[in-house]
Chain A
Amino acid sequence: MAGTVIGEGLSIEGDVSSEEEVVVQGNLRGKLTTTDAVSVGSSAVIEADVSAQSLTIAGQVTGDVTAAERVDLQAGGRLIGDVKASRLTIADGASFKGNVDMDV
C-alpha cells in the first residue's frame, strides 16, 4: 500500500521528498526524492528529477532519474533524461532518450 499517491487529477508544482513509497498518476513538476520506491502510472506526467530506491515508469518522465536499485521503463512509458541505476530494463514499446550510467 503506497504511502503517497498523487492521483490522476492532481498536480504538484514543487519539491516532494519522502520516506515512503510514492505512486504518481497525476502531474508533478519540480523534484521527487524518496528513500523508497516510485511508481509512475500511465497517466502520469512528470517534469522533474527523480531520486528513489527504485523506479517503475509507465507514464511520462522528463528529468534525470537516479535509483539505488533499479529502473524499469515499461511499455507505454517514456523517459527523457539521464538514468543512474545499477539495473535498468527498457520494455518493448517504451521510449527512452538519455544517457545511462550503471556504474553505481
Chain B
Amino acid sequence: MMRHSSEGSVLGPSTRITGRISGEGAIRVEGGLKGDVSVSGPAEIAEGASVEGSVHAESLEIAGSLLGDAVTRGPIAVRAGAVVRGDLRGSEISIEPGSRVSVRLDTQVELDLGAPRRR
C-alpha cells in the first residue's frame, strides 16, 4: 500500500511495484520497486527495501538496496547496511563502512599535486 502524506509518498514494506514513479515531493521506498524513480524532493530507500532502476531526486539516502544509477542535486548517502551498484552522481557522496558497493563516482575533483617545493 502506498501512503501519501503532505511531505511525500511512502511505498510500504509489503508493496511491490513494477513501473516508473515520478512526481513532486519526497519518496520513501520500504518495499520493492522495479523501475525508475524521478522525484523533485528527497528520496530514501529504507533498510530492507530494494530499488532496481535509476533514481533521480533532490537527494538520496540508501539503507537498503539500489541496483541502478542515481543522480541528485544534493547529497547521496550510502548507509552501512546498504547494497549499491551503479553510477552515483550528486553534490556530495558519502559511503559508510559496512556497506557493499560497486559504484562509479564521477565527482569533480581538482587535484593539486603540488608545485615542486622550494629548496
Chains A and B in contact, CB within 8 Å = yes
Point out the residues of chain B lying under 8 angstroms from A35, CB to CB: 119
Closest residue to A18 on the B side, CB-wise? B117
List 5 interface pairs A-B (beta carbons < 8 Å), by A numbering. Answer: A17-B117, A17-B119, A19-B117, A19-B119, A35-B119
The size of the chain A interface, using a CB distance under 8 A, is 3
The size of the chain B interface, using a CB distance under 8 A, is 2
Point out the residues of chain A lying under 8 angstroms from B117, CB to CB: 17, 19
Residues of B in contact with A (beta carbons under 8 Å apart) = 117, 119
Closest residue to A33 on the B side, CB-wise? B119
- B82 CB → nearest A CB, Å: 37
- B77 CB → nearest A CB, Å: 37
Closest residue to B118 on the A side, CB-wise? A19
Query: CA separation between A19 and B118, bound complex, in Å?
Result: 9
Query: CA separation between A19 and B117, bound complex, in Å?
Result: 9
Render A10-21 as a binary contact track against B, CB cut-off 8 A, 1 for contact.
000000010100
Query: CA separation between A11 and B117, bound complex, in Å?
Result: 23
Within 8 A of B (CB), among A1-36: 17, 19, 35
- B91 CB → nearest A CB, Å: 38
- A55 CB → nearest B CB, Å: 18
Query: CA separation between A81 and B117, bound complex, in Å?
Result: 28
Closest residue to A34 on the B side, CB-wise? B119
Point out the residues of chain A lying under 8 angstroms from B119, CB to CB: 17, 19, 35
Query: CA separation between A101 and B117, bound complex, in Å?
Result: 30
